[in-house]
Amino acid sequence: MRGLVIGMLLCAACGGAKDGGNAASASGAAPASGGSAAPGAVAADMAVAVDAPPAPADAPSLLGDLPPLLLAEVDEATIKSSVALNNAGYAAHKKKDWATAEAKYREAVKADPGNLRARYNLACVYSSSDQAERAFAVLEQFKRPDCRACDAVLVKAKEDREWAARTQDPRFLAIVDGLTPAKTDMKQVTKLLITALRTGKTDGLEPYVHPRHPIAHSVLAYSPDQPPPDRYYGWSGFLKLVGKGDRSIEDNGVRSCTDSCCHTGGRGDSSYVVDKVCFSGTGDVLFISEIELDPGPI
């Protein structure tokens, strides 16, 4: 599947435990030094190592075996498993048990390299435990031109108390330099979403679907037995949600957008309307997090 451009909703202590609703280097790991020059190497190559003897072949990289940030689609079970590990890490994080938090976050990232929340939380642990080199190495992984959700992470870092002592560090400034995420036009995205639900045409919506945070989809029941919402993860989940479209959904336009939700013109005459569409994220970098349908007159 295509990698997604698109947290995300990131809350206390560098991203928090729960999913909400969502790098210059692909891995962030420092490259290991090479060994001695091979026989027959040109003189220029040999000269490079004169003043810097090569490190031992078994020297660990800065981030060890942490996998690179990959946003390829994964199945829902993998996402949930990684979220559970992140939640365990966050429980230790709140207690400032840095070693346990680091271990759990690393497990979460290994389970799902696209778990941006766990990866960011890992960077926060390194920042808060005075491992600045590792903190910046992980944070740099989010500096990517093809990842809107990564922009949300960097926006969060600029405001996060766990990075407060580092925001003027030249390394931090180099990572966030040029960060200009486009503001989410909630009204326009809501219009596109209504069109997608009616026709199956998803043009322009991919940047507003987070690669890991679910979209909750519910139909009002007007009874105490309101069922829990269905949840759809990532772009493939979103395509499953909109399917081939449903022409019975009426398009009553968008009446208003306040706070994090947009509302339509009210109940349909005889069928469904999209009652509201809600967003989550950081700053202006928002993602679709909830769709509520109203079945019309009772």
For each of the domains in the chain, give its residue range(s) and CATH number, in order of start. Answer: 12-176 (1.25.40), 186-294 (3.10.450)
The ranges of the chain with pLDDT < 70 are 1-60, 266-270, 297-298
Q: Could you give the 3-state DSSP secondary structure of residue 158? A: helix
pLDDT value of position 224 = 83
Q: What are the start-end ranges of the H helices in the chain?
A: 12-15, 43-48, 76-94, 98-111, 116-128, 132-140, 148-159, 170-176, 186-199, 234-242
Residue 52 to residue 56: CA distance in whole angstroms? 12
> What is the 8-class DSSP label of residue 250?
B
Number of residues in the chain: 298
Residue 216 to residue 228: CA distance in whole angstroms? 9
pLDDT value of position 29 = 32
Number of CB atoms found within 10 A of residue 215's CB: 25
**Residue corresponding to tokens 């944070």:** 139
Sign of torsion, CA 258 259 262 268?
A: negative
CB 213 within 8 A of CB 9: yes
Residue 61 to residue 77: CA distance in whole angstroms? 30
The β-bridge relationship of strands 273-282 and 285-294 is antiparallel
Among residues 71, 94, 68, the alpha carbon closest in space to that of 22 is found at 71
CB 29 within 8 A of CB 48: no
Residue 82 to residue 100: CA distance in whole angstroms? 16
Q: What is the pTM of this model?
A: 0.78
pLDDT value of position 31 = 31
Q: What is the pLDDT of residues 71-109, one digit of tens each?
A: 999 999 999 999 999 999 999 999 999 999 999 999 999
pLDDT value of position 124 = 98
pLDDT value of position 32 = 32
Among residues 119, 156, 144, the alpha carbon closest in space to that of 134 is found at 119
**Three-class secondary structure assignment of 52-90:** CCCCCCCCCCCCCCCCCCCCCCCCHHHHHHHHHHHHHHH
Among residues 257, 269, 276, 274, the alpha carbon closest in space to that of 296 is found at 269
Residue 197 to residue 219: CA distance in whole angstroms? 13
Q: What is the pLDDT of residues 104-155, one digit of tens each?
A: 999 999 999 999 999 999 999 999 999 999 999 999 999 998 899 999 999 9
